[in-house]
């Protein structure tokens, strides 16, 4: 569709030319402004250089020889005083005096006797022409300026255009976004693909009586791709795309928002079929009750939006898409069927979705053979599309900084850490004592992960400070994607969070401020177990908290009496104390592991999960995975040899049993894994 046709198509219905009245208004306004300016300037000059005096004062000045010259007019006498030497040196402006005419026939003679230059006023024939020119020139300038301002106001349909919609219009070729560019949101794409098909083939739907949904509300956390999905719908449908943010409707003038809504829908009707996208619609669509607070401007804008959504004809192919992170604050009238018929959830991607998103963002990035996007996706549970895109970009930047042309797996893991915990603070040098405290703290966390069966495996331990405030951290990577947590897993999390503080107390007999974030996380989990998950024997299955702002802060508010809230606090305290005691018990029993791994970490500063488990197994006397594998091969080989009674020494024979291949050749045996 031609972009030039968006502003009304043909010109058959031109508005009448109103330039005549408009020019007259401009001239009148310009004349008034010019007269006001001249009056102001004239008064300013008069006040600063002229002064009226009495006739007696004038005669006293003549007697005192202070008058240089006078000009006798028809109704006044203009007096020019003599200047002193000091005035001439300082270049002091001459003050001109004037007084009224008094019937005194001897005045000219008195002035001449006093040596005053006397002159009569001659009518100025050029005064009218000068006044006319001094009026016309500013008038022309003011007319040109006001013509420009009035033209802008006319185009803006209001005071400086505040009432006109400033929606950005995208044509399909300009968006360049299709569903192929959106990964990890299969359910959302499937729901919107039906809308696209309706725009392409309205006949097959209308034949059965189906109607195009008036609107679809995209709901989800920030960064999940809601705006990208809206652009993809426009790109797939090959229709114009009108995009505005909710805040674009609201101005300081009451009524402007409603005017912009009317203008937006008027432009959309001209360009139909098309898509209107309103981002952050909660800026104008908040509930009209007193809870969330509203004002008359937002309510007028919302009322106009509701009226427009009821008024337009769906058969014209106008689809409204809106996005928000806060669906709970939207007005109920906006969410009812007939306005926003569909709610499309654009949630955080799962493991499969994160892999697809990483592939989309990595397709134009040069990577080596060590890159495993599945491992990166597994390590970034909870990350949204914008986070993953940022990680790929950070990895590419890191590779360039290192002077390499290909991105490696190490670059990607470093990028994950940069996004999650910030960059390394190389300028922060901790004392040896602080390094020991941080090392024992982090090893305390890691040991619980190795000792408890419900804990996630350790990927990395470091005591290198990061820019987001961490002096060290333990990275845990789950073995598989999980959507539920058992009570045992949650209790293990509590023990792991509090193990850092427990290690400090066990080793140093004192505690530090380093566990503040761990305590906060543990308290949140313990409170959720009691108030939301029904994992408390005292309160049972009673729900005591309600989650608000699910897609933003995810904060919970208590829904119980104050006395019950106090009992909840006691239950949470008991749960945390039980977990802390469990952490101290486990670390005390494994003090040797705690000391040796902490010493190794102080020396190396950063160790991998494999190094950590190797040291742990050596201390505990547990065979490693490689040792267990070799032992299994030897056992299988021995069984095969015992089963073989006769062996041909000339012809080698290959026997396979339980996945182990053994080649028998005389008395020589070689084995390999099948």
Looking at the fold, whether 337 and 374 belong to one and the same domain comes out as: no
- The answer to whether 142 touches 30, Cβ cutoff 8 Å, is yes
* Highest-confidence segment of 261-270, 577-586, 609-618: 577-586
Q: Is the pLDDT of residue 30 over 80?
A: no
Give Cα 200 distance to the centre of its chain: 34
Residue 243 pairs in a beta bridge with 168, 277
Query: What is the predicted pLDDT for the residue at 14?
Result: 41
Asked whether residue 141 carries a pLDDT value surpassing 70, the answer given is yes
595 falls in which pLDDT band (50, 70, 90)? very high
Q: What token pair was written down for 436? A: 């020991």
Q: Is the pLDDT of residue 295 over 70?
A: no
Asked whether residue 127 is assigned to any structural domain, the reply reads: no
**264 φ/ψ sector (left φ>0, alpha ψ -120 to 50, else beta):** alpha
Contact (Cβ atoms closer than 8 angstroms) between residue 471 and residue 514: yes
Name the CA dihedral angle for 295, 554, 190, 242, rounded to a multiple of 10 degrees: 30
Does one domain contain both 398 and 441?
no
Which residues form the catalytic set?
442
Distance CA 137, CA 143 (A): 10
CA distances from 66 to 84, 317, 482, 483 (A): 10, 91, 105, 103
CA-to-CA distance for 55 and 364, rounded, in angstroms? 95
The string of pLDDT tens digits covering residues 203-216 is 788 888 888 788 89
Residue 47 lies in a domain: no
Mark 362-381 as b/e (b = at least 16 C-beta within 10 Å): beeeebeeebebeebbbbbb
Domain CATH code at residue 578: 1.20.58.760
Considering 419, 444, 466, which residue would you say is the last residue of a domain?
Answer: 419
Q: Is residue 502 part of a domain?
A: yes
179 and 266 assigned to the same domain? yes
Domain-terminating residue out of 419, 443, 461: 419
Residue 65 region by backbone torsions, left for phi larger than 0, else alpha for psi between -120 and 50, else beta: left
What DSSP character marks residue 467? T
Indicate whether 511 and 555 sit together in one domain.
Answer: yes
pLDDT tens digit sequence for 220-251: 999 888 988 988 888 888 888 888 888 888 76
What CATH number is associated with residue 364?
1.10.8.60
Residue 462 bridge partners (DSSP): 473, 606
Q: Output the six-digit token pair for 147.
A: 């013509």
Percentage of residues in the chain with pLDDT exceeding 70?
74
396, part of any domain = yes
Share of the chain above pLDDT 90, in %: 27
Kindly state the average pLDDT of the residues 445-463: 91
Q: Is the dihedral of CA 632, 633, 636, 637 positive or negative?
A: negative
Q: Tens of pLDDT along 499-545? A: 999 999 999 999 999 999 999 999 999 999 999 999 999 998 998 98
What's the DSSP call for residue 557? E
Structural domain tally of the chain? 5
Count of other CB atoms within 10 angstroms of residue 238:
14
Domain for residue 155, yes or no? no
Do 470 and 584 share a domain, yes or no?
yes
The enclosing domain of 303 has a CATH number of 3.40.50.300
CA distance 346 to 221: 8
Give the length of the chain: 674
- pLDDT tens digits, 86-126: 666 666 667 788 788 887 778 888 888 888 888 877 665 55
Distance CA 157, CA 176 (A): 32
Same domain? 409 vs 335:
no
Q: How many CB atoms lie within 10 A of CB 632?
A: 14
Checking if the pLDDT of 450 tops 70, the result is yes
Within 13 Å, how many C-alpha atoms sit on residue 105's CB side?
Answer: 0
Q: Name the DSSP class of 248.
A: G
Q: Give the model's confidence band at 482: pLDDT under 50 very low, under 70 low, under 90 confident, else very high.
A: confident
Instruction: Give the residue, 381 or 47, on which the prediction is more confident.
Output: 381
* 386 and 452 assigned to the same domain: no
**From CA 241, how far away is CA 170, in angstroms rounded?**
5
Residue with tokens 């007028």: 300
Please name the residues in contact with 228: beta carbons below 8 A apart, sequence gap of 6 or more.
177, 181, 182, 385
Q: Looking at the domain assignment, is residue 440 inside a domain?
A: yes
96 and 49 Cβ atoms separated by less than 8 Å: yes
- CB-based contact 526:576 (threshold 8 Å): yes
**pLDDT for position 400:** 94
How far is residue 455's CA from residue 451's CA, in Å, rounded to a whole number?
8
Residue 453 belongs to domain spanning: 432-620
Last residue of a domain, one of 315, 345, 375: 345
Side-chain half-sphere CA neighbours of 669 within 13 A: 18
Q: Domain check: are 478 and 457 in the same one?
A: yes
**Burial degree of 486 (CB within 10 A; 0-12, 13-18, 19+):** exposed
Residue 558: predicted pLDDT: 86
Quick one: 571 and 498 in the same domain? yes
Output the DSSP codes for 92-140: PPPPEEEEE----TTHHHHHHHTT-EEEEPPP-TTHHHHHHHHHHHHHH
For residue range 555-585, list pLDDT tens digits in order.
788 888 999 999 999 999 999 999 999 999 9
Q: How far apart are CA 225 and CA 531, in angstroms?
A: 32
What pLDDT, on the 0 to 100 scale, is given for residue 160? Answer: 46
Q: Compute the C-alpha angle 34/40/43, nearest 5°.
A: 135
Q: Are residues 524 and 453 in the same domain?
A: yes
370, 498: one domain: no
The CATH number for 69's domain is 3.30.720.210
Distance CA 301, CA 264 (A): 12
Q: Is residue 17 part of a domain?
A: no
Residue 401 domain-assigned? yes
Tell whether 414 and 518 lie within a shared domain.
Answer: no
pLDDT at site 13: 40
Percent of the chain that is helix, strand, coil (3-state, to 5): 55, 15, 30
332 close to 286: Cβ distance less than 8 angstroms: no
Residue 185 pLDDT exceeds 60: yes
Helix (H, G, I), strand (E, B) or coil at 219: strand
């Amino acid at each position: 569709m031609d972009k030039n046709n968006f502003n009304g198509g043909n010109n058959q219905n031109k508005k009448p030319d109103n330039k005549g009245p408009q020019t007259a208004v401009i001239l009148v306004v310009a004349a008034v402004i010019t007269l006001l300016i001249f009056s102001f300037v004239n008064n300013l000059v008069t006040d600063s250089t002229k002064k009226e005096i009495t006739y007696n004062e004038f005669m006293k000045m003549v007697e005192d020889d202070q008058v240089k010259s006078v000009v006798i007019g028809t109704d006044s006498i203009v007096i020019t005083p003599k200047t002193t030497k000091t005035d001439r040196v300082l270049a002091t402006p001459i003050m001109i005096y004037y007084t009224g005419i008094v019937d005194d026939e001897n005045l000219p003679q008195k002035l001449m006797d006093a040596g005053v230059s006397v002159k009569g006023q001659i009518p100025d024939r050029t005064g009218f022409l000068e006044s006319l020119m001094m009026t016309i020139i500013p008038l022309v300038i003011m007319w040109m300026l006001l013509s420009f301002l009035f033209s802008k106001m006319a185009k803006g349909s209001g005071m400086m255009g505040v009432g006109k919609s400033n929606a950005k219009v995208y044509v399909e070729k300009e968006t360049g976004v299709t569903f192929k560019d959106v990964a990890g949101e299969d359910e959302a794409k499937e729901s919107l693909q039906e809308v696209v098909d309706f725009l392409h083939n309205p006949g097959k739907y209308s034949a059965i009586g189906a109607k195009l949904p008036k609107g679809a509300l995209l709901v989800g956390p920030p960064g999940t791709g809601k705006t990208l999905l809206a652009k993809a719908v426009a790109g797939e449908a090959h229709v114009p795309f009108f995009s505005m943010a909710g805040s674009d409707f609201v101005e300081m003038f009451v009524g402007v928002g409603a005017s912009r809504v009317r203008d937006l829908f008027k432009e959309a009707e001209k360009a139909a079929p098309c898509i209107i996208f309103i981002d952050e619609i909660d800026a104008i669509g908040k509930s009209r009750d007193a809870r969330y607070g509203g004002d008359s401007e937002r309510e007028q804008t919302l009322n106009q939006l509701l009226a427009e959504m009821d008024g337009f004809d769906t058969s014209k192919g106008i689809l409204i898409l809106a996005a928000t992170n806060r669906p709970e604050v939207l007005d109920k009238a906006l969410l009812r069927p007939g306005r926003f018929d569909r709610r499309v959830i654009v949630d955080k991607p799962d493991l499969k979705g994160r892999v697809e998103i990483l592939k989309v963002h990595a397709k134009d990035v040069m990577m080596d053979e060590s890159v495993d996007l599945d491992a990166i996706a597994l390590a970034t549970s909870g990350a949204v599309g914008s986070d993953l895109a940022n990680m790929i970009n950070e990895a590419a930047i890191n590779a360039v900084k290192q002077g390499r042309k290909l991105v490696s797996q190490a670059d990607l893991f470093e990028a994950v850490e940069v996004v999650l915990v910030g960059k390394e603070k190389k300028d922060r040098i901790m004392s040896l004592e602080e390094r020991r405290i941080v090392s024992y703290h982090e090893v305390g966390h890691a040991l619980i992960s190795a000792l408890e069966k419900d804990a996630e495996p350790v990927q990395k331990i470091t005591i290198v400070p990061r820019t987001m405030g961490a002096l060290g951290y333990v990275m845990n990577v789950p073995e598989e994607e999980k959507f539920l947590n058992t009570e045992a897993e949650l209790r293990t999390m509590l023990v792991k969070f509090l193990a850092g503080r427990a290690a400090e107390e066990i080793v140093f007999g004192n505690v530090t401020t380093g566990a503040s974030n761990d305590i906060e996380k543990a308290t949140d989990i313990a409170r959720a177990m009691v108030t939301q998950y029904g994992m408390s024997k005292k309160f049972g299955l009673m729900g005591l908290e309600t989650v608000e702002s699910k897609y933003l802060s995810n904060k919970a508010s208590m829904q119980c009496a104050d006395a019950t809230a106090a009992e909840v606090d006691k239950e949470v305290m008991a749960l945390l104390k039980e977990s802390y005691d469990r952490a101290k018990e486990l670390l005390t029993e494994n003090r040797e592991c705690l000391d040796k791994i902490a010493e190794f970490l102080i020396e190396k500063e950063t160790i991998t999960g494999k190094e950590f488990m190797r040291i742990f197994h050596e201390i505990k006397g547990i065979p490693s995975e490689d040792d267990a594998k070799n032992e299994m091969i030897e056992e299988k080989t021995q069984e095969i040899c015992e089963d073989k009674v006769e062996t041909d020494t000339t012809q080698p024979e290959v026997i396979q049993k339980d996945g182990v291949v053994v080649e028998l050749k005389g008395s020589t045996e070689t084995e390999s894994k099948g």
